[in-house]
């Protein structure tokens, strides 16, 4: 079987990398196509995954509308030459469009309900839409395949990932004695209007958290020079080892918050818009809090640093599945 896997974000690399390895070990041929984005291609290189670039990310709404057409055309041409039997993607308007044009079935994995524009352009063309079972937005029933898990459990399930404490020691850090902060660029179409913190409030957040423990910042945007000492300096493929040994995660990255939860690390997610999977972790397992202001972020950070989330985390791992194994079965049953 020939499978076209389309990626646009570094998180997609993690989500698909175990799946690709297992499919190839079973004799299937996978072609990875990616939008040109430094963090994504760098991660693919670090994991030694061969890929082709089919397009790029566009900076604003009018440009994004043009980019859909331009990227579609490029990917369709690549797919026509590759002749896949199936396409896979996350929020994959390009892959489902290519599949529909070439008469090839497609599976779209999504967990982001407020990506309305992308979903509107994706769901009608996808053969299957697979979501966590906590997903709340409408999906055509005949296409919907819900599962008890989150995207992050495709690569951070205990069967897939074991944190290495020696990596933390080599970085000169003490386990449980630091806080990880992620600041996002919020430039994706579904992130418009989500920002809960101004630039000055981000500075106040970092300085406020530094009164509790050492703070390590992962920022997609430049930091003021006075915050240079907080910047993370670790290879991207080792990031989850850093996160797994933190005392707390605070930030604008929803994926990083969910990663923290499945690793047993409490989190505080700063955003005006929640996520179904983070609401699930918060309401069912008590692993974190979504907040919409600086004051609430600092207050909740104080609470979560003192909270023992072990019982909730263990219940989560009992309730949820190894998502990669589920995906392999879905693909093999599907075909």
Outline where 49-122 has alpha helix (H): 61-82, 93-102, 116-122
In the chain, where the domains are located: 2-157+321-334, 165-319
**Homologous superfamily of 2-157+321-334:** Glycogen Phosphorylase B; (3.40.50.2000)
- Backbone phi and psi for residue 185, each to the nearest 5 degrees, phi listed first: -80, -20
Kindly report the CATH class assigned to 165-319: alpha beta
Judge whether 158 and 317 are in contact, CB under 8 Å: yes
Comparing 2-157+321-334 with 165-319, is the CATH topology the same? yes
CA quadruple 317, 319, 325, 327: dihedral positive or negative? negative
Give the pair of three-digit tokens for residue 67.
Answer: 């980019």
pLDDT values of the chain reduced to their tens digit, one per residue, 335 residues: 999 999 988 999 999 999 999 999 999 999 999 988 878 999 999 999 999 999 877 666 666 666 778 889 999 999 999 999 999 999 988 999 999 999 999 999 999 998 888 899 999 999 999 999 999 999 999 999 999 999 999 999 999 999 999 999 998 999 999 999 998 765 444 444 456 688 899 999 999 999 999 999 988 777 878 888 898 878 888 999 999 999 999 999 999 999 999 999 999 999 988 999 999 999 999 999 999 999 999 999 999 999 999 999 999 999 999 999 999 999 998 76
């Amino acid at each position: 079987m020939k499978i076209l896997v389309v990626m646009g974000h570094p998180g997609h690399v993690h989500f698909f990398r175990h799946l690709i390895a297992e499919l190839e070990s079973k004799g299937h041929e996978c072609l990875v196509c990616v939008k040109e984005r430094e963090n994504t291609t760098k991660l693919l290189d670090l994991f030694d995954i061969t890929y082709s670039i089919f397009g790029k990310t566009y900076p604003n709404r009018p440009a994004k509308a043009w980019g859909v057409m331009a990227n579609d055309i490029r990917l369709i041409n690549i797919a026509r030459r590759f002749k896949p039997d199936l396409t896979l993607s996350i929020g994959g308007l390009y892959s489902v469009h290519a599949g529909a044009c070439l008469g090839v079935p497609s599976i779209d994995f999504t967990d982001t309900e407020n990506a309305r524009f992308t979903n509107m352009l994706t769901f009608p063309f996808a053969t299957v839409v697979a979501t966590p079972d906590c997903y709340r937005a409408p999906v055509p029933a005949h296409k919907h395949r819900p599962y008890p898990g989150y995207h992050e459990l495709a690569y951070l399930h205990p069967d897939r990932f074991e944190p290495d404490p020696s990596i933390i020691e080599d970085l000169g850090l003490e386990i449980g004695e630091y806080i990880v902060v992620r600041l996002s660029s919020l430039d994706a179409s579904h992130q418009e209007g989500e920002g809960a913190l101004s630039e000055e409030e981000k500075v106040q957040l970092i300085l406020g958290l530094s009164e509790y423990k050492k703070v390590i910042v992962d920022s997609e945007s430049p930091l003021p020079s006075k915050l240079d000492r907080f910047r993370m300096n670790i290879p991207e493929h080792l990031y989850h080892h850093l996160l797994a040994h933190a005392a707390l995660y605070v930030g604008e990255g929803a994926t990083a918050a969910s990663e923290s939860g499945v690793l047993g690390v409490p989190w505080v997610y700063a955003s005006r818009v929640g996520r179904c999977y983070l609401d699930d972790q918060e309401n069912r397992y008590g692993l974190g809090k979504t907040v919409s202001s600086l004051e609430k972020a600092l207050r909740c950070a104080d609470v979560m640093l003192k909270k023992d989330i072990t019982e909730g985390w263990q219940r989560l791992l009992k309730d949820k599945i190894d998502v990669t194994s589920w995906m392999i079965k879905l693909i093999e049953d599907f075909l």
